[in-house]
Structure formats: C-alpha cells, structure tokens
Amino acid sequence: MLRWLLIFIVIAVAAWVLATPSSPTSMPAAFTAANGQPVLGCVPPARLAGADGTVQSDAPGGMTPFQLSNAVAKPLAGFSVAARVLSREDYDHGREADFSPVDLALGWGRMRDDAVLSKLDISQSGRFYRYRWSGPPPIPPDDIVRSSANMHMVPSNSAIAAALDAVDAGDRVRIDGWLVQIDTPDGWHWRSSLTREDSGAGACEVIYVCGVSRQ
C-alpha cells in the first residue's frame, strides 16, 4: 500500500511540474510583426523606445555573446528605435550579407515628417544611406544626422528575418535588440556605432534584432 502511495505522489508531482507555466523572465519576449503575429526572438533590452526616437542602454556585465553562423556577436549596448522607414536595401553578396541581409534607413523626430521628406532625395547602396536636397535644406543638416541613420539588421532567427522582410519604405516600425560587434574566427570584425551624432563610414548601427513591430 505504501509503495503505491509513493508512486502516486511521484506521478502527481511530475504532472504539477509539467503543467506549471514557466516564469515570464525565463522566456523570450514576444513582439507583433508586420503581419500581426507574435515573433519570438532573443531577449530584448529592458529599456524600449516609445512612439518615436531611440533608446540606448548599457549591456549587462557578463552578458553572453550571441552565436551566429561561424561567428559571434558581442553585445555592446541595448538598443531600441521607433521610426519611419525612409528606405530599405537588400544584400546577398559581401561578407556583411552573411549576417545582415537588409539595411533599413530609419528616421525619427522631424525626419518622420512628409513635409521634410518630400524635399529630400533618399537612396541606399554599398551599405550606406544618402540624402540630397535642392536649395536650402528642409531642416538643419545636423538635425538630419541626429534624426536618421542607416542600420544593418542582423535577424536573431528565421521568424525575425521574415518580419524584417515584410517591412517596406514608409512603414512606421519599432526595432528592439542589441548593438553588436561581429567577430569571425579569421579575424574579421564588424562593429556598430554607439552614437547618433556621427555620419559617414563607421556611423551605421549593427543591430542583433530581437523584435520587430509595426506601429
């Protein structure tokens, strides 16, 4: 009788463990993709952007690098941006394309406004984002630099890659993830900018993307 009682207790405890939901802190965060379905990616930073602009935060000490195909992505800072997609460019060649198949040129603040964007000629190529205007600039050039950027998207999984693939120019999106440095075994490096004040070579953000949502 005692033997059967012990077996019943063991089975009951096992069933309770299996039925108990995991703690939310142990699960990756879910985000709404462009198609309205939740997308599971890496755990995003604690501080996320609101309706407009960027938020950058320190990476926790001892944070484990993300494992990529034949490379690692070292987190440099938490990063979240809510912005308008000014342009997108897909890439299928070059070392960078092994990790980032798409760049998004993003604008926030006054670089979301139709009145400003209608006076700018915006393009992307060669992993750069370019803009031109005729006559006086629609806003001070320093404001353009501080309110827009070309960002290299490194999807954390296939679902995030699909969500990024659905993003089009003109969309208003939020991207959550980590600014990273990618290192390969042969010594090649690709490091993210850590400021929105720069321009030119090395000024782009390299983002390991955890979440994509359309606003």
Residue 19 covered by a domain: no
Number of domains in the chain: 1
Tell me: pLDDT of 7 over 80: no
Residue 8 covered by a domain: no
Distance, in Å, from the CA atom of 28 to the CA atom of 62, rounded to the nearest integer, reads: 19
Q: Cβ(69)–Cβ(98) under 8 Å?
A: yes
Q: Cβ(203)–Cβ(173) under 8 Å?
A: no
Residue 55 covered by a domain: yes
Average pLDDT for residues 121-140, to the nearest whole number? 96
pLDDT at position 41, please? 79
Residue 130 covered by a domain: yes
pLDDT at position 39, please? 56
Q: How many CB atoms lie within 10 A of CB 121?
A: 10
Tell me: pLDDT of 135 over 80: yes
pLDDT at position 191, please? 98
Average pLDDT for residues 112-123, to the nearest whole number? 97
Tell me: pLDDT of 31 over 80: no
Q: Cβ(213)–Cβ(173) under 8 Å?
A: yes
* Cα-based distances in Å from 203 to 184, 190, 193: 21, 12, 5
Distance, in Å, from the CA atom of 66 to the CA atom of 28, rounded to the nearest integer, reads: 14
Distance, in Å, from the CA atom of 72 to the CA atom of 183, rounded to the nearest integer, reads: 6
Residue 13 covered by a domain: no
pLDDT at position 85, please? 98
Q: Cβ(133)–Cβ(121) under 8 Å?
A: yes
Distance, in Å, from the CA atom of 145 to the CA atom of 86, rounded to the nearest integer, reads: 13
Tell me: pLDDT of 28 over 80: no
Q: Which of 106-110, 140-144, 197-201, 205-209 has the lowest mean pLDDT?
A: 197-201
| Mean pLDDT, all residues of the chain | 85
Average pLDDT for residues 101-127, to the nearest whole number? 97
Residue 101 sits at φ, ψ, to 5 deg, of -80, -5
| Residue 103 lies in domain | 29-214
Residue 24 covered by a domain: no
pLDDT at position 117, please? 98
pLDDT in tens, 54-101: 999 999 998 999 999 899 999 999 999 999 999 999 999 999 999 999
Residue 188 covered by a domain: yes
Q: Which of 3-12, 138-147, 186-195 has the lowest mean pLDDT?
A: 3-12
Residue 20 covered by a domain: no
